[in-house]
Amino acid sequence: MNSLRGVETLKGGRAPLMGMKLDLVCMGHILYDVRCYVDHLPKPDKTALIQSPIETSGGGSAANVAVNSAMLGMKAGIIGNVGSDHQGDFLLSNFRKFGVDVSQVKRMRGNSGTAIVVVDKSAEVEVIESVGVTEEKRTVDERYIANARFLHMTGADLELLKKAGQIAKKKGTVALFDPGRSKSREGEGRLAPILKNCDYLFANRSEILLIGGKGDAKETARRLAGEYGVTCVLKAGRDEIFVAGEEEFSLSPPRVNPVDTIGAGDAFSAGFICGLNEGKNLRDCVKMAMWSAVQKIMYRGAQSGISRGWVRKRAGV
């Protein structure tokens, strides 16, 4: 089969897992991360020296959630695009290594999405991204979403996200949406058709204001939760996590010395979904999310360091 004209199957040529019940399907960006570790982030007309060998790995929010969820013991699959280049080969191989189903990853003519990630000694991150083929138009197989317990949507074509949300709503698949910076900038008006089909919304404080307008982040989260019937979870880095919806509460994360914060929000999402999959209550899901993010930032890269046993022990669930 020509991999540029269809859907890449799992290693060994097995058919797509249409008859298999996946715990989670992720939809969004699949990126090839190139990571550089520096003493300080470069300023205009200045040079920052890379302090260790350049590292490469899988990345992209949807890919990170899928891989981290697999590391937490879930059966995960992903809907997305990779290019016809060696980065595409690497990304597919990387998914297989972690046991993520790639039957709905399309190989398209062109370049895979790539991110240049610069991390300073305080673990702060700057990212330069080329989306490549990641947002090229494609179709969604309704059966793939219908056969999953959860659908996690991140940066992707808005019409594709709208369609996926509609399928999830119709088929009873729990839908979670993390628009990230790029899609949050679209604003509430353009995101409303997606939000109305979601059960959970993840955002940080700046993103929630990009979605819902200026003002207080918590009040905006409360309003969006009431308007769309979602549970809104504000991820917060070093600040408190805030949850609005049928339940409302806050949790303060522990203080740790981070190594690399890239992908922390995606680890948070994976931990939360793992909690849902195990039937935990909302507060315990947030605890699992928080400790998943904490463990991730102790390691380099967006797809490393997550351990189900460690997370559950720290979360006390």
| CA–CA distance, 303 with 296 (Å, rounded to integer) | 8
| CA–CA distance, 264 with 235 (Å, rounded to integer) | 10
Catalytic-role residue among 178, 199, 266, 284: 266
Q: Name the nearest CA neighbour of 242 among 210, 271, 220, 262.
A: 220
10-43 as b/e: b if 16+ CB within 10 A:
beeeeebbeeeebbbbbbbbbbbbbbbbbeeeee
- Is 266 a known active-site residue? yes
Residue 198 token pair? 């979601």
Quickly tell me which residue has 């339940």 as its tokens.
247
The answer to whether 152 touches 269, Cβ cutoff 8 Å, is: yes
Q: What are residue 242's DSSP bridge partners?
A: 234, 250
| CA–CA distance, 66 with 102 (Å, rounded to integer) | 10
Phi-psi category of 172—alpha, beta or left, where left has phi over 0 and alpha has psi -120 to 50?
left
109-119 as b/e: b if 16+ CB within 10 A:
ebbbbbbebbb
268-285 as b/e: b if 16+ CB within 10 A:
bbbbbbbbbbbebebebb
Catalytic residue set: 266
